[in-house]
Amino acid sequence: MSIGSVGFRTLFFKEMLRFWKVATQTIAAPILTALLYLLIFGHVLEGRVEVYPGVSYTAFLVPGLVMMSVLQNAFANSSSSLIQSKITGNLVFILLPPLSHWEILSAYVFASVVRGLCVGAGVFIATAWFAHLSFAAPLWIAVFALLGAAILGTLGILAGIWADKFDQLAAFQNFLIVPATFLAGVFYSIHSLPGFWQAVSHFNPFFYMIDGFRHGFFGQSDISPWTSLAIVSVFFAALAAIAINLLRRGYKLRH
């Protein structure tokens, strides 16, 4: 076994242990939040809105909430871990050992994916009772959940590297990540939007993640899942390339 793989696995394990030790905050709380969204929006809008033919509003909402939770928690995992380590200074324990840039990136991203999927699964289990769900194409569900979590995990690394204070990270999360997920069609189909906002939504990469993910449940989506996959994959590759480049240069980490 090469040194690289032990180093990667250790960092991956440490990142998982980190969120697992505070699971009430990192897993249970976001599940409760998603459940509240479902109860409130489902109660208000059920029977008044039919996004896809034959799909109730609550059923439409569940995959959106699951994916939103996956994305937001994947982002929260890597970003909060990095900023905490930077501010408390214990990032030095990761910067001193012979870990490669790839090992650092992949360990943080994998742990973010695990956290995102744990929360997503929890949200699904908690909310699926309230709606009749189908699984038209389960592979799309898995592909978009994994890719979406990996993208947000990588974005979390970028935000964690860039931010010098909790304040800046919170701004990144509140002014970028949260609006981008909320406006990506979690609660509605973009076809219900005016033309201008439909066009704007197409520039939001989060829209493709949620739309592709939802396709896996209903076999229906706003655009083809293959188009979404292509766009999401390119987005992930671009973010990963930026993250690797920053890690290699030591940007804000080894200054």
Task: Kindly list the residues in this chain that would bind other proteins in the complex (CB under 8 A).
Answer: 1-4, 6-7, 9-11, 13-14, 17-18, 21-22, 85, 88-90, 92-100, 250, 254-255
User: Least distance to other proteins from the beta carbon of 249, Å?
Assistant: 9
Q: Which residues contact 240 (CB under 8 A, 6 or more apart)?
A: 105, 109, 154
Under 8 Å between Cβ of 140 and 42: no
Q: What is the residue type of 161?
A: I
Nearer to other proteins, 89 or 195 (CB): 89
Three-state DSSP at 165 gives coil
User: Least distance to other proteins from the beta carbon of 23, Å?
Assistant: 12
Nearer to other proteins, 97 or 179 (CB): 97
Nearer to other proteins, 115 or 215 (CB): 115
Under 8 Å between Cβ of 112 and 75: yes
Place of tokens 């505070």: 22
CA atoms in the 13 A half-sphere facing the CB of 174: 6
User: Least distance to other proteins from the beta carbon of 94, Å?
Assistant: 7
Nearer to other proteins, 12 or 218 (CB): 12
Extract the runs of DSSP E, i.e. beta strands, from the chain. none
User: Least distance to other proteins from the beta carbon of 87, Å?
Assistant: 10
Number of Cβ within 10 Å of residue 90's Cβ equals 11
Nearer to other proteins, 96 or 203 (CB): 96
Q: Rounded distance, CA 195 to CA 117, Å?
A: 33
User: Least distance to other proteins from the beta carbon of 102, Å?
Assistant: 12
Nearer to other proteins, 21 or 43 (CB): 21
Under 8 Å between Cβ of 67 and 186: yes
Q: Rounded distance, CA 154 to CA 105, Å?
A: 8
Nearer to other proteins, 138 or 250 (CB): 250
User: Least distance to other proteins from the beta carbon of 28, Å?
Assistant: 17
User: Least distance to other proteins from the beta carbon of 186, Å?
Assistant: 31
Q: Rounded distance, CA 14 to CA 19, Å?
A: 9
The candidate with the shortest Cα–Cα distance to 62, out of 143, 126, 13, 10, is 126
